[in-house]
Structure 1
């Protein structure tokens, strides 16, 4: 089962809704909830997931290689 994040934002009487909602969004993004929801919006086949991970590793290696050559 997945990790469950119970997010709670306590709103004080003099705090506006927009400010409290902003804090809520910040906590959600810090926990990675928004990206997880976007990832799980549609089913992704395991082969596609592996292909995407492989491409990510290749891009990272290229980036590290180009950064090391610059120095």
Structure 2
């Protein structure tokens, strides 16, 4: 899960960097930046889904073991 979160953070940083670039650009440069931005958005979406999947698996594993994902829950099945 930590790896997925790290990848999401990196993807978000990349998207921010690509989104901020601009200024005086030729039409080709603008199109290239748009493609980079779309790729960065796709990477963010993929990384976000990976985090959600990892958390769901982690949560399910804890539930099956009788633990709580909230950190404040009490195991009443003992």
TM-score w.r.t. the length of structure 2 is: 0.36
From the two aligned structures, give the one with the greater helix fraction.
2
Of structures 1 and 2, the one scoring higher in RCO (CA 8 A, sep 6+) is 2
Query: Which TM-score applies when normalising by structure 1?
Result: 0.39
